[in-house]
A and B are shown apart, each in its own frame.
Chain A
């Protein structure tokens, strides 16, 4: 990937906007859409993984300690994880730059 998203011009597009290599959607930073972000109190977490199951973005994975945490590159801040969490681990707070 030579150019960043904001450097691409119309001339960089393949004919008909065809995508030749897989994985282009993975590069797209949907995290910029966020107006709220999840915060965690992992002392309450039972590692059930329901938040990851419910996450519509599929961006929640276990971290190195086994707790489930959203990848903020993709997290859109919808708050579904916070709503579904049995043990109230997750609190949504206002996103600040």
Chain B
């Protein structure tokens, strides 16, 4: 018997963290992540979650506390967004090479200036090269599921890497959605507690985060790269096994009417569901158009992306961030790099959309698709276009 509960996604995500039974939560509140950590603090204060809640004085301290906690072998969770992620940036880089399996929810929000509390992907792109596994979701159920899955991936002895679960701020964090919560028993079974292999322990002292002179630093970075790339097998297996137990299947590149379609649109995050409605309407009008959406941002799913676009002539890529003075959106930049050496590849057209919370509607996506087809046919002097910008 499956029960759906109407609940705000932030609260649902915090309840998913509770189901994962963490030992430590260290976090600092920031819009639009606040409800996640507020609810976790409440659960701990009420005795419903047996965990140490560390109310730190900044995000830099939050991630620092998480490093120590994970190094001691504790199951560790934090959450942040935007400026908070920027402030903790120095410490975000430290977790992956130290192989500390922290799970962090990021309520995607634009970066200042100008100040904006609304969603885009500039924060998540700012940590692209930190070495974390980065999963991005489209709706509340996916956020709940992937929060549980993230612990399983992070703590797998073949992975031991931190995982970010990205959900767009407000568009997801502050809406009420029907959520199916798995039972505690099934989560416990899916998520056995695996301890860090060489934890901080006075009985067996180790040194962590040591200095690496030039003779070994390069090798440490290659070890980190190999670990992140190898994590993909475990991610796929974790998603597979989740599907077997809970019936919901996740893939690095999700497909929607994309098989054989000549025109494809690539989305990432919550705007994907709006785009799907546009795809439905355009297909009804007889247009040969499909959608793919990226679930796994790091490690980047090269193989799955190439496979998904192999029959397409045009690939319209939606970005919610800008690499200023560069090639346009970070997603399109990656996609172009992934396809450049392929013998057959679609024309890639890049739109930057929905910056700082501006909505792109169904009619907007239809307009973008038509514009994209036109640009692919005629070419453009611009690397990308910001959709809807008033010039």
Chain B 32-44 per-residue mask, 1 if CB under 8 angstroms from chain A, else 0: 0000000000000
Chain B: CB-nearest residue to A7: B215
**Number of B interface residues in the complex (CB < 8 A):** 23
A16-B215 contact given A10-B220, A10-B223, CB 8 Å threshold: no
B208 touches A16 (CB 8 A): yes
Residues of A within 8 A of B223 (CB): 10-11, 13, 17
B97 and A25: CB pair below 8 A? no
Determine the chain B residues whose CB is within 8 A of the CB of A8 once the complex forms: 215-216, 219
Chain A 62-73 per-residue mask, 1 if CB under 8 angstroms from chain B, else 0 = 000000000000
The contact of A17 among B97, B197, B205, by CB within 8 Å, is B97
Q: How many angstroms from the CA of A6 to the CA of B197 in the assembled complex?
A: 27
B206: chain A residues within 8 A (beta carbon): 18-20
Complex-state Cα separation, A13 to B215, whole angstroms? 13
Are B213 and A28 in contact, CB atoms less than 8 angstroms apart?
Answer: yes
A16-B219 contact, Cβ under 8 Å, with A10-B226, A22-B207: no
**Contact present for B215 and A19 (CB under 8 Å):** no
- Please, which residues of chain A bring their CB within 8 A of the CB of B211? 25
A residues lining the B interface (CB < 8 Å): 5-6, 8-20, 22, 24-25, 28
Q: Is the interface of B mostly helix, strand, loop or mixed?
A: loop
Is A17 within 8 A of B98, CB to CB?
Answer: yes
A42 CA to B213 CA in the complex, in Å? 35
Q: A15-B198, A19-B207 are in contact. Are A10 and B222 (CB under 8 A)?
A: yes
B229 to chain A, nearest CB (A): 13
CA distance A19 to B200 in the complex (A): 11
Contact with A along B134-169 (1 / 0, CB 8 A): 000000000000000000000000001000000000
B212 at the binding interface (Cβ < 8 Å): yes
Interface pair B198/A10, CB less than 8 Å apart: no
Using CB atoms, name the residue of chain A closest to B207: A19
Known A10-B223, A10-B226, A22-B207: A17·B212 in contact at CB below 8 Å: yes
Q: Is B307 on the interface with A (CB-CB < 8 A)? A: no
Identify B98's interface contact among A10, A16, A25, CB under 8 A: A16
Task: Tell whether, in the assembled complex, residue B197 and residue A9 are in contact, meaning their CB atoms are under 8 Å apart.
Answer: no
Residues of A within 8 A of B212 (CB): 17
| Minimal Cβ-Cβ distance residue in B for A13 | B223
Contacts A18-B207, A22-B207: A13 and B219 contacting too (C-beta < 8 A)? yes
Q: Which of B176-228 contact A (CB under 8 A)?
A: 197-198, 205-213, 215-216, 219-220, 222-223, 226
Q: Tell me the bound Cα distance from A52 to B205 in angstroms.
A: 31
- Chain B CB within 10 Å — which of A5, A10, A16, A28 has the most? A16
Q: A28–B78 Cα gap in the complex (Å)?
A: 37
Let me know if B100 is at the binding interface, CB within 8 A.
yes
Distance in angstroms between the alpha carbons of A80 and B213 in the assembled complex:
23
Question: 5 closest Cβ contacts across the A-B interface?
Answer: A16-B99, A19-B207, A10-B219, A10-B223, A16-B98
Do B215 and A17 touch (CB < 8 A)?
no
Q: When each residue 349-391 of chain B gets 1 if its CB lies under 8 Å from chain A and 0 otherwise, what string results?
A: 0000000000000000000000000000000000000000000
Q: Looking across the interface, which residue of chain A has its beta carbon closest to that of B157?
A: A15
The closest CB in chain A to the CB of B226 belongs to: A10
- Contacts A17-B210, A18-B198, A19-B207; A5 near B220 (Cβ below 8 A): no
The docked-state distance in angstroms from the alpha carbon of A16 to that of B160 is 9
Whether A24 contacts B210 in the complex (CB less than 8 A), given A16-B98, A17-B98, comes out as yes
What is the bound-complex CA distance between A53 and B308, given in angstroms?
Answer: 67
- Residues on the B chain within 8 Å of A28, using CB: 213
Q: Which of B160, B198, B216, B222 has a CB less than 8 Å from the CB of A20?
A: B198
A-B CB contact pairs (8 Å), 25 listed? A8-B216, A9-B219, A10-B222, A10-B226, A13-B216, A13-B219, A14-B198, A16-B97, A16-B160, A16-B198, A16-B208, A17-B208, A17-B209, A17-B210, A17-B212, A17-B220, A17-B223, A18-B206, A19-B208, A19-B210, A20-B198, A20-B206, A22-B205, A24-B207, A28-B213
Interface string of B84-111 (1 = CB under 8 A from A): 0000000000000111100000000000
Closest-CB distance, A52 to chain B (whole angstroms): 24
Tell me which residues across on chain A come within 8 A of B222, comparing CB atoms. Answer: 10
Question: A8–B205 Cα gap in the complex (Å)?
Answer: 23
Chain B residues near A15 (CB-CB < 8 A): 99, 160, 197-198
A20 to B198, CA, bound (A): 9
**Bound-state Cα–Cα, A8 to B99, Å:** 20
Give CA–CA (A11, B212) in the complex, Å.
15
